[in-house]
Amino acid sequence: MDFEEGEILYFDKPYEWSSFDVVNRIRYAICRHLNRKKIKVGHAGTLDPLATGVMIICTGRATKRIEELQYGVKEYVATLQLGATTPSFDREHPVDATFPTAHITEALILGTLSRFKGEIWQVPPIYSAVKVDGKRAFDYARKGKDVELKPKLLVIDEIELLSFDSSVMQMTIRVVCSKGTYIRALARDIGKALDSGAYLTALRRTRIGDITVAQCLTIDQLPTLFAEDTL
């Protein structure tokens, strides 16, 4: 493979790795394999550290295609805990509020999810990389500063209830959506629409465009694939 001319690779991001961690590890492995000090490596679409799944990695001149690749439709499978919220809308931070759940039924969930299909306006999470006055929103959040984030128009092509366990008030959904959709923020908004609260306990990106998890390499496969010169 010609990493300088440009390759497009697909990886399954590990749990608790940042997208930057993945890029760094792959860049290091390629440089070591080629006995070089530097090579361009980037990704087409950030995943939160607590999420797993499809990441598209571009090398060399193929990094010019990152913006194009980012526009591929995304598919996610997400598990939501109902009846509570966290500041980051996932498990990165502890629960900061609890809400009633006795009124929540599967029928109510199904009716509520249908309202999120199509064009929706979404306010990004404060714990996100959205820029405000040149700084990332999470920089303000970590300093305890309030900042107003503007809502963005997004498209939810599909939203499907996969399971609902009323004994623990957890639900799993499948979402097919446009670039820029924050599933954490979607969880927040679903919780509000249910007259309760919600946050993510698990998130997996299962597809970007036509690329699925089944086509992805794991980080652990890097040494073997380099040795075989098939990466």
| Element housing 28 (H / E) | helix 19-34
Handedness of CA 190, 195, 199, 204 (dihedral sign): negative
- Is residue 48 flagged as an active site residue? yes
Residues in CB range of 121: below 8 A, 6 or more apart: 151, 152, 153, 154
Give the whole-angstrom CA distance, residue 130 versus residue 147.
11
Give the whole-angstrom CA distance, residue 199 versus residue 184.
7
AA letter at 138: F
| Lookup: tokens for 19 | 């997208």
SS3 218: coil
Angle between helical axes of 106-114 and 183-193 (0-180°, round to 10): 120
The one catalytic residue in 2, 12, 21, 48 is 48
The β-bridge partners of 77 are 174, 204
Give the whole-angstrom CA distance, residue 142 versus residue 126.
9
Residues in CB range of 174: below 8 A, 6 or more apart: 75, 76, 77, 158, 159, 160, 162, 206
Residues identified as active-site: 48
